[in-house]
């Protein structure tokens, strides 16, 4: 059981480092100030889910869920 706990702790550390890097790679919400003048209606504005920014958002959500699950599992006293 101790080996499993150490393994899960290593995975949690790796996930948290990747999670931090992915969050720092994302643009801020205030970076899209072109939306005021209507510049958001470009190809990249419409297809944000297919762009690199959309992929980063999806990866962030998945890593957030994995991080939370690992934290809960590691807090269970078994």
Rounded Cα–Cα distance for residues 72 and 20 (Å): 19
Give mean pLDDT, residues 2-31.
90
| Total number of domains constituting the chain | 1
Contact (Cβ atoms closer than 8 angstroms) between residue 19 and residue 60: yes
The whole-angstrom separation of Cα 40 and Cα 76 is: 46
Three-state secondary-structure class, residue 22: helix
**Which tens digit of pLDDT belongs to each residue from 23-76?**
999 887 765 555 555 555 555 555 665 788 889 999 999 999 999 999 999 999
Residue 75 falls inside a structural domain: yes
- State the pLDDT at residue 19: 96
- The verdict on residue 62 lying in a domain is yes
Inside any domain, residue 17: no
Residue 27: inside a domain: no
Distances (CA, A) of 42 to 33, 45, 46, 49: 13, 5, 6, 13
| 31 lies in some domain | no
- 48 falls within a domain: yes
**Domain range for 78:** 43-78
Q: What pLDDT was estimated at residue 31?
A: 53
Task: Please tell me the pTM assigned to this model.
Answer: 0.71
Give Cα 20 to chain centroid, integer Å: 8
User: Does residue 12 register a pLDDT over 90?
Assistant: yes
Q: Is 30 part of a structural domain of the chain?
A: no
């Amino acid at each position: 059981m101790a080996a499993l706990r150490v393994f899960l702790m290593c995975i949690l550390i790796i996930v948290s480092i990747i999670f931090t890097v992915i969050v720092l790679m994302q643009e801020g919400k205030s970076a899209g100030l072109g939306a005021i003048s209507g510049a958001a209606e470009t190809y990249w504005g419409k297809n944000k889910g297919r762009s690199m920014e959309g992929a980063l958002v999806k990866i962030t959500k998945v890593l957030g869920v994995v991080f939370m699950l690992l934290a809960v599992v590691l807090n269970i006293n078994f």
